[in-house]
Structures are given as structure tokens and as C-alpha cells.
Amino acid sequence: MGNLSVQEASLIEQSKSGNIESFEQLVISHQKKMFNIAFRMLGNLEDANDVTQEALIKAYRGINSFNGKSSFSTWLYTIVNNASIDFIRKNKKNKTVYLDREYESAEGTHKIEVACHGDTPEEVLEKKEVRRVIEEAIKELSEDHRRIIVLRDIEQFTYAEIAQILDCSEGTVKSRINRARKILKVIIMEKLKN
Amino acid sequence: MNCKDFDLLASANIDNMLSNEERMEFENHLEICETCNIAYKNLETIISSASEIEEVELPSKFSSELRSRLEKETKVNKTFSSKMKTWTSIAAGLLIILASISLLSNYLELKKKPNLISEIENSSNYEGNDTYGITMDKNQESLDAESIDEDEANLKESYTSNQEQKKEINMASMTKRSIDEEVAIAPDEEVPPQSNNKLKSNLLKISISALLLAILVFINKTKTKRGYFKHIK
């Protein structure tokens, strides 16, 4: 358990034997970030509250399975991230067609390349304008692309942390970030054109 | 470097994830290609705008809601654990009763065969006074001593384990004692060597019952401590 401080390790042990106060102390400095991850993934405060609470209960129930391979906070962020994805998939009443999906087809990939490297140069984006539409644009990303943008660009996790959260290699993280940003850029440009 | 390579590296460069060599090539291309230059600046604008998105505050009732859910969770665990305790106690009791009945019926069956017993009385193999019971392997020549020793060891082990769990199931040691008493009734009776198989089978039944009891107690103890079982491949 090299990733843990002495105090954290002791609080984890106490939580394992059912001490609620120790568990609360253990998660208090991480719950706001957990809530923000859920909020950016789900888009509304009520669902974010439910999912974060549920994720914390899952963490409490499963604290015996925490093996210390990652830091405790990364473990919590993994749980809330997965809980958010589960929530989205479970609550898809009508099959949502995300705007970025159309760019994933063979034709769509071509469209991204044209958009980024067309004969005509890109128009320079105004930061003020981007700020106005970026939150809406993120909501239009598919859940997989959205979680990459949320983890890297909003919550500022490192590539190594994202690799742990998504259980993949850093190389995969690198290419996923690249792809998700490209799609986000296309959505933002489309939004600003309209 | 062409525009396509540049496109692949742009995102990683913003995050300082390129090697020195890659970064130099990247910067050279940036100077000579206006399209890529604008594309890169736009990407930077988007990423910096995303990083400036403000954090939302936790709902005011977040902590109190979490506390009540945690308390509910602990309560559910306790109820589950106490229900488990009751059921394992009942199951353990039933097992021991079953084992005792089976043992008693086999003993009564033996009693119904006086001819067989008198044959044994005359038998030169019979040595008489030794205590018969769990340690009877001493006076049973044809008895597989090794097997009995093993059974005995199992019993002792389970019994020790039962003693340790006294708080959970007091019943365990009490019923255990009653089995010992039943087995101890036998010394006055002569047992034919032919019945060794039955005897061995009885001892085996006791051992299995005791082992099952120990397992149940172990499961119960694990649940009480909020432990878990893990299947390791």
C-alpha cells in the first residue's frame, strides 16, 4: 500500500470494521471532485448527487477490496466514473444519437480531417465564444469521449491517472484524448457557425 | 513532418507529452504551415476554455444524506449478520442432531444382534477392558488405525475451533459433548470386528458434521467482521 499515507491507511482499516466517521473523514476531501465528475458526465445536479452518493456507498461496501495498487482517491474517482457511465447507459430512454457519432463512420472520419486540414484555413476561434458553447458541446459528446474530456481537460488528471481510472495503457489514453478533442473541436465549430 | 503527423501530435504537445525530438519537429512544422498553426491555436483555445469551466459546489444536504445512507447500510449489514448467525446456529444444531440420530440407530442395530456379540466375546482377538470410543483403535486389530487417527485429529481440530467460537454458538460445544456421551455408552458393549466399517462410517459422519459446523461458524464470523470471500484463479 505504498500509495497511502499512514493516516489514510489507518482510516481505511477503521472503515473496514464499519466505522462510519472514519470513512467520512477518508472521503471528505474527494467528494467534491467526485460530484463534479458526475455532474459533467450527467449534466444535471440531481442525478450527479444520486450517482455520487451511490458511488460512495459502493466504496464503503467494497472497501475490503481496495488493494492499494492505486491511490485511494483514484480508486474513488474510478468508482464514480463507472457509476456515471452505468447511469447514462441505464437511463437511455430513447437511443440518443450523439453528434460526434456521425464523425466516427468512415465518412465521418473524413469529415474531421477535412474540417481540420481543408484547403481553406480554419477560422480563428474567439475564446469568449468558445466559453459560451463549450459546456453544451461537451454534453453532445458520446459518453466515452465525454469522460476523456472531463477527466483530462476539466478535472486535469494526468495521463497515468486516467490510465488507472479507465484501466488501459497510457498510449491508449493519449490516442483517446487526441480523438475526443478533435471531435469536441468539430462540434464547437459547428455550433459557432450556426 | 506533414500535416497529418502534426495533427496526431498536437494534442500531446499541449499536454507536454512529446519527446524533445518530436517537439522540435512539431515546432518547425508550426512555423511553416499556417493552416496547422491556426488549427493548433484553436485547439489550445478549446482546451484552456475547458480547464476554466467552474467547479460546482456540493449540495448543502450532501453530507447529512451520505451519513444517513451509511447508517442505513451499516444497519442492513448488522441485520443480515444477525440473521446469518441465527440460521447458521440452527443449521449447525440440525446437523449435529442428524449425526447423533444416525449414530444411535446404528448402535441400537448392533444391540439387536446378541449372537454376533457372543461370538465376539469368545473371540481371542477380544481384549476387553479398554475404553471404547473415539480412541478405540487400540483394541481393534483389524481397524484401520491410521484412518481413525485422522478422524480423531479432525474431530479435535474442529472441536478446538468450536471452542474458540463459543460466543457465536454455545450450542456447538454442548451438542458436541452429547455426541461424546453417546459414543462413550459403547465401552460396556462388545463390538464385533465386522462392525468396524459401521464404526468408521459413524466416526466419519461425526467428523463431517463437525467440519461442516466449523465451516458454518467460520462463515458466520467472517460476515460479522464484514469480511468477504475471494475466488482466486
pLDDT band, very low/low/confident/very high, at B182 (cuts 50, 70, 90): very low
Say whether residue B46 is in contact with chain A using an 8 A CB cutoff.
yes
Q: What is the dihedral of CA B176, B181, B182, B186, to 10 degrees?
A: 140
| pLDDT recorded at residue B215 | 83
| pLDDT recorded at residue B113 | 60
| pLDDT recorded at residue B214 | 84
Among B residues 4-43, those touching chain A with beta carbons less than 8 Å apart: 4, 7-8, 10-12, 15, 17, 34-36, 38-39, 41-43
3-class DSSP string for chain B: CCHHHHHHHHHHHHCCCCCHHHHHHHHHHHHHCHHHHHHHHHHHHHHHHHHCCCCCCCCCCHHHHHHHHHHHHHHHHHHHHHHHHHHHHHHHHHHHHHHHHHHHHHHHHHHCCHHHHHHHHHCCCCCCCCCCCCCHHHHCCCCCHHHHHHHHHHHHHHHHHHHHCCCCCHHHHHHHHHHHHHHHHHHHCCCCHHHHHHHHHHHHHHHHHHHHHHHHHHHHHHHHCCCCCCCCC
Does residue B132 carry a pLDDT above 50? Answer: no
Residue of chain B minimizing CA distance to A57: B70
| pLDDT recorded at residue B122 | 56
| pLDDT recorded at residue B143 | 42
What distance separates the 2 farthest-apart alpha carbons in chain B?
115
| pLDDT recorded at residue B164 | 52
Closest partner CB to A117 (pick from B7, B56, B230): B7
Does residue B174 carry a pLDDT above 70? Answer: no
CA distance B15 to chain A (A): 9
Q: Which percentage of chain B shows pLDDT scores above 90?
A: 26
Mean pLDDT of B126-151: 44
The reported pTM is 0.63
A123 DSSP assignment:
P
Judging contacts by C-beta atoms under 8 Å, the chain A residues touching residue B63 are 24
| pLDDT recorded at residue B90 | 82
- Are A121 and B50 in contact (CB < 8 Å)? no
Does residue B168 carry a pLDDT above 60? Answer: no
CA distance B55 to chain A (A): 7
Query: Best mutation site among A27, A35, A156 for testing chain B: the one with the most B CBs within 10 Å?
Result: A35
- Are B51 and A117 in contact (CB < 8 Å)? no
Show the low-confidence residues of chain A (pLDDT under 70).
Answer: 1-2, 93-121
CA distance A189 to chain B (A): 10
* Cβ atoms within 10 Å, residue B20: 7
- How confident is the model over B28-44, as pLDDT tens digits? 999 999 999 999 999 99
Does residue B126 carry a pLDDT above 90? Answer: no
Determine which helix (DSSP H) or strand (DSSP E) holds A146, and give its type and residue range: helix A143-149
Range of lowest pLDDT (A47-51, B17-21, B27-31, B79-83)? B79-83
- Are B15 and A127 in contact (CB < 8 Å)? no
Average pLDDT of chain B, as a whole number: 71
